[in-house]
Chains A and B, each alone.
Chain A
Amino acid sequence: MKINAVNLTETEYALPGNRTCPGCALALAYRHILKALDGQVIVTVPASCLTVLHGMYPISSVTVPCVNTPFATTGASATGLLAGLRATGRKGLTVLGIAGDGGTHDIGIQSLSGAAERQEDFIYICYDNEGYMNTGNQRSGSTPLGAITGTTPVLGKRQNAKDIAAIMEAHHLPYIATANASYPLDLYEKVRKAKDIKGTRFIHVFTPCAPGWQYPYSDTVKIGQLAVKTGLVVLYEIHDGAFRLTSASASLASKGKLKPVKEYLATQGRFEGITETQISQLQNWVNTRWQCYLERQRNSQTATSGTESEPDI
């Protein structure tokens, strides 16, 4: 059954009234992630905005069991939960490690890589707000070129973000996907699919951050969509090595054309100081990447001799 806004489960696991900022894309993403897992999950979370969302002792806004673990340890903590569940004979639970981009691209990459290499049987979700937002917006390995942050306050970031999904692909994982909080049903379907696959599954979720990126709180969904329409974010999945563009990225590939990145950059205060050179560097980066994805899509289609039609959800 194709999921839509009408038949999506009504059970809420991330309750309203949490401690995130207004317009938080993580709150939107997390709500759909937990729905996709039917709440049958043990979550491990490092220091991050999700820690804030979860609440303060003794009150939490989520109804799934969770362990908070130090910043660098998400992959190891998930490994420990799995080992403990196996050792005590408990079955039927999904272990979910969920961390921000700092906790994934930077400080947590060692334990994530270790767990992925061991093919630990869990879902890892990186929600990416492109910086250390919980500490007030500092640069991370995922901050884009040209963005002003607390630690790139004058010149803006002078490097591109690292491609975490490609790094994880090099670990030969059974399932890798990118997603975006502005396309919650695509995210839902990917988590749902990942749930039934064995091994380490990695999902990279784009989650715009209104205070950090400096745009109006009401624009989160629009900004997330614009990131896909400009090709800065590409939605895809790689299942057992087969690459497939999904959702809005699939539509763009078949009948659309990318908007210029300039349009996206103009919506956010963090790019106020970006230079023309940096803009064209970013545009070139996007163009090259997009061609690469289109090529992978074509190669996959040739390999499987067929294409799945994809509604724009």
Chain B
Amino acid sequence: MVLCALSIFVIVLLIVTELVLRSDLIWAKFHFDFFYKAYFDPTTGLPNYWDPVNGQFSALPFVYGTVVSSLLSLLLAVPLALGVAVFLTEMCPIMLRGPLAFITELLAAIPSIVYGIWAVFVLVPLMREYVNPLLIRTLGWSGFFTDENPTGLGFVTAAVILAVMILPIISSLTREVMTAVPHSQREAVLALGATRWEMIRMGVLRNARIGIVGAVILGLGRALGETMAVTMVIGNAPEIHRSLLSNGYSMASVIANEFTEAVSDLHRSALMEIGLALFIVTIIVNALAQVLVWAVTRGAPARAN
């Protein structure tokens, strides 16, 4: 039994060792430059980050793409998730609570490839025809929404589908954290004459806010590592543009797209190093989230979902 439990550590160690070993080629050549150096094509002066043919590797566009799409998706998902959690815990009639909770759980169980195929065939045309032009018209003055990319792919579409995917995680964890707040807190605020929203704000959210931050960070962790749905809608262009509607690339997407076709050892090593970076970042983010959630639900075993 102890051996079985120790296998968890063995798995982590194996993953780390293999990734570190296989990325030594690219590490020896580039060291930390791999993650932030910007290379420029000598003839045209345009940036040229990822050039497997000439052995030029810089992970900057992928880091940028992952960060931008994840943060944007958090921006979209967190208000909605909090709204759902507040509704389900405090405002929902008891009869509806079960079915609605089941439906949100179902959202979490849908595999990402199904999200991806739906996004490619339904969401992308929707964005292309209606949402992107609207964004350009209303928010184009900020410089973040230009019409250079009429395909409907890009960071915003990826952020939308990511938001749909991380929403159930954030909302279910927030619900758990909110139910862990003792009823005495709610009753105390109500006894002082608060309206329902004031009771929620002062009695529940204030006590649960550490856990809610943990839930949001857990959602971020999932968004950082999401591969399939993002690969299909982010546009797969290793470039950095200011416009949020432009095509981009994320760390997990480049591994999924290029690994089977990588010819040189250096290319494979570069992809392994991106995988290692992804592993380390998600471990840190998830560990932080677990600690925060544990601080609020202290002692009660966390649900595996």
Please determine whether chains A and B interact with each other in the same assembly: no
Q: What residues make up the interface of B, taking CB atoms closer than 8 Å to A?
A: none
Q: What residues make up the interface of A, taking CB atoms closer than 8 Å to B?
A: none
